[in-house]
Amino acid sequence: MSPDPSLALENTADTPDTAQQILRRVFGYEAFRGQQQAVIDTVAGGRDAFVIMPTGGGKSLCYQIPALLRPGLGVVVSPLIALMQDQVAALRQAGVRAAYLNSSLSLEEQREVEEQARSGELDLLYAAPERLLTPRTLALLERCELALFAIDEAHCVSQWGHDFRPEYLQLAELAQRFPAVPRVALTATADERTRHEIRQRLSLEQSEEFIGGFDRPNIRYRVTRKQNARDQLLRFMAAEHKGDAGIVYCLSRKKVDAMAEWLRGKGWPALPYHAGLDAEVRRRHQERFLKEDGVVMVATIAFGMGIDKPNVRFVAHLDLPKSLEAYYQETGRAGRDGLPANAWMSYGLQDVLTLRQMMDGSEANETQKRVERHKLEAMLAFCEITGCRRQSLLSYFGDTLPAPCGNCDTCLEPVQTWDGTEAARKALSCCYRTGQRFGVTYLIDVLRGKDDDRIRRLGHDRLSVYGLGSDMDAAQWRSVFRQLIARGLLSVDLDGHGSLRLTEACRPVLRGEETLELRKDPARAPRKRGADLRSRFDDPADERLFNALRACRRRLAEEQGVPPYVIFHDATLMEMVEYRPDTYEQLRLLNGVGEKKLTDYGDAFLEVIREQGVDA
């Protein structure tokens, strides 16, 4: 039986739709995830909610479905115009009556949207906070029946957070003006203090709180020891991510430009993104990243918020982020579609030195510095950890994972440790005896007994530590120093030469009261084991079909000027490859195929599948 497309979106039954039916019929999904159902019940029941879910956890449905269940207009506050436009495009694809109000609209377009809102022709209206709070928009809303307010990226209200937007502070006004309308605030920020602040500032003290688990099981976390970061990155990308979209984060604008150019020279479609670029260039690069398949964005942290492209297959860090919060948020941009994705980072002695120095030289007051230092400690500990990375990440956010995950580098390739107590003592004592005025390279030269003019001139060849460490090579010594600095047994001076000093923390080791288990760094990049991301295409016919489906999707997306994933996600295309549906009925069973998309695109994709079947 083929569906009657004209009826697809209407609910012709006498009973109203349930949340479950909307999930299936409109969004094409089988089951709710995590806390979604509970949030939807609360908001649909007219009560406020505060929702904390990791990036990719599925926050949008938490307000989109209640807006469809309740009579009237759902108003969504969202900070970024580009994000709004994509969300609205995606909703329209699913047959939801959605629109946005922002500065990109002409006056005429704006009037049209307002008229639609007034006459009850919209289910969802997206607006930036400054637009929402204009007298004009508020007056409009007073004349509409309102289903709910959703405040997305609610951490923007927090002055401590990294995305503070003053306009968000005024959103508390909504509670006074529209006391009968339920409000739901959503964020991915886990930090307890920020959470508290959000509730307070948005007058949500009384609301129910929903905290989703923080785990992103499809992301594989890896930290490799930095040798030649560029080449390592390139090898990683070539081995696992040909044709995939990804983000490469660097600390400085200069490095972003250089890396993007270098990758382009190696044949990768890489684009730079940072705050120093022209707004128009940034917009164009972001658009290409969203709309084309397989673009690699090389960026500073200026890039990312509100990028909800679901098929970012990898996020790479060439420099160490300043905190685990930042790391988790940035890596969280990979694999929102739930398919395997990689979080890859290269990390080395220089990262530790740079960050330690940056921290100590920071202008912040003492309290702020203490917070920053604490965050950096946690980040460094994560890099040097010998146990499961995911367990350590989650425990940092107050979540627990009972067993090692099996999907991080330390699980896949267990780290060897060695008793580094003796070596540490030698390193510390070398630092002490040479007057705590030298950097790592010099100290290693002394330890290894290098024949060197400067050492002789300073008389360091007569010290007892001279040549005391000739049993280990320079790389091994660098590894020891890195770990001593990461663990805070040595601190880095601000003199610009990276001189090392002993800290209080090294006393127990020097006195022989404490032993030190150190990480044994692998001699070269570890071979990866376990499920390969690409193993999904064991069969070349599958890969051909996948590529043909992608091409079909790209064509449809270009016709309409929307990003490809707004048509169908990769996950849906993967299911088409796996199940080779032949009829509407079979296609409808796949995840992500709702009634409207079945009607609009069913034929096109079924035809691709049939053609490929013939070729095979």
55 binds, among Zn ion, ligand ADP, none (CB under 5 to 8 A by kind): ligand ADP
Q: Is 56 in the site for ligand ADP (CB under 6 A)?
A: yes
Q: Is 552 in the site for ligand ADP (CB under 6 A)?
A: no
29 binds, among ligand ADP, Zn ion, none (CB under 5 to 8 A by kind): ligand ADP
Q: Is 405 in the site for Zn ion (CB under 5 A)?
A: yes
Rounded distance between C-alpha atoms, residue 586 and residue 449, angstroms: 73
Q: Which stretch binds ligand ADP (CB under 6 A): 53-61, 232-240, 410-418, 457-465?
A: 53-61
214 versus 481: smaller Cβ distance to ligand ADP: 214
64 binds, among ligand ADP, Zn ion, none (CB under 5 to 8 A by kind): none
Rounded distance between C-alpha atoms, residue 48 and residue 181, angstroms: 9
Q: Is 600 in the site for ligand ADP (CB under 6 A)?
A: no
Rg (CA), the chain: 27
469 binds, among ligand ADP, Zn ion, none (CB under 5 to 8 A by kind): none
Q: Is 550 in the site for Zn ion (CB under 5 A)?
A: no
Binder to Zn ion among 61, 388, 480, 562 (CB under 5 A)? 388
CB neighbourhood size of 287 (10 A): 14
143 versus 529: smaller Cβ distance to Zn ion: 529
Contact 232, 525 (CB under 8 A): yes
- Give the CB-side neighbour count of residue 401, counting CA atoms within 13 A: 21
- Residue 449 C-beta: closest distance to Zn ion, Å: 40
Q: Is 390 in the site for Zn ion (CB under 5 A)?
A: yes
Q: Is 577 in the site for Zn ion (CB under 5 A)?
A: no
Q: Is 572 in the site for ligand ADP (CB under 6 A)?
A: no
Q: How many residues bind ligand ADP (CB under 6 A)?
A: 17
Rounded distance between C-alpha atoms, residue 276 and residue 13, angstroms: 56
Angle in degrees, 0-180, between the axes of helices 349-360 and 366-384, rounded to the nearest 10: 170
- Residue 32 C-beta: closest distance to ligand ADP, Å: 5
269 versus 404: smaller Cβ distance to Zn ion: 404
Burial of residue 15 (number of CB atoms within 10 Å: 0-12, 13-18, 19+) = exposed
User: Beta partners for 246?
Assistant: 296, 314
SS (H, E, C) 85-100: HHHHHHHHHCCCCEEE
76 binds, among Zn ion, ligand ADP, none (CB under 5 to 8 A by kind): none
Q: Is 60 in the site for ligand ADP (CB under 6 A)?
A: yes
**DSSP SS3 for 352:** helix
336 binds, among ligand ADP, Zn ion, none (CB under 5 to 8 A by kind): ligand ADP
One-letter amino acid for residue 504 of the chain: E
Angle in degrees, 0-180, between the axes of helices 389-396 and 324-331, rounded to the nearest 10: 110
- Residue 278 C-beta: closest distance to ligand ADP, Å: 29
- Residue 44 C-beta: closest distance to ligand ADP, Å: 16
- Residue 392 C-beta: closest distance to Zn ion, Å: 9
Binder to ligand ADP among 59, 282, 426, 597 (CB under 6 A)? 59
One-letter amino acid for residue 500 of the chain: L
Q: DSSP for 363-416, please give it.
A: -S-HHHHHHHHHHHHHHHHHHH--S-HHHHHHHHTT---SS--SSBHHHHSPPP
* CA distances (Å), origin 374, targets 34, 203, 371: 31, 30, 5
Binder to ligand ADP among 57, 95, 321, 340 (CB under 6 A)? 57
Contact 593, 549 (CB under 8 A): no
Binder to ligand ADP among 43, 53, 141, 431 (CB under 6 A)? 53
Residue 267 backbone phi and psi in degrees, to 5: 90, 10
One-letter amino acid for residue 21 of the chain: Q
Q: Is 32 in the site for ligand ADP (CB under 6 A)?
A: yes
Which bin fits 210, alpha (ψ -120 to 50), beta or left (φ > 0)?
A: beta
Token duo for residue 55: 């990036």
What residue ranges in 398-471 does DSSP mark as E strands?
Answer: 417-419
- Report 283-342 residues binding ligand ADP (CB under 6 A): 308, 310, 336-337
Residue 253 backbone phi and psi in degrees, to 5: -65, -40
348 versus 564: smaller Cβ distance to ligand ADP: 564
53 binds, among Zn ion, ligand ADP, none (CB under 5 to 8 A by kind): ligand ADP
Binder to Zn ion among 146, 408, 484, 545 (CB under 5 A)? 408
Residue with tokens 């127990």: 508
Residues that bind ligand ADP (CB under 6 A): 29, 32-33, 36, 53, 55-61, 308, 310, 336-337, 569
- Give the interface with Zn ion as residue ranges (CB under 5 A): 388, 390, 404-405, 408, 411
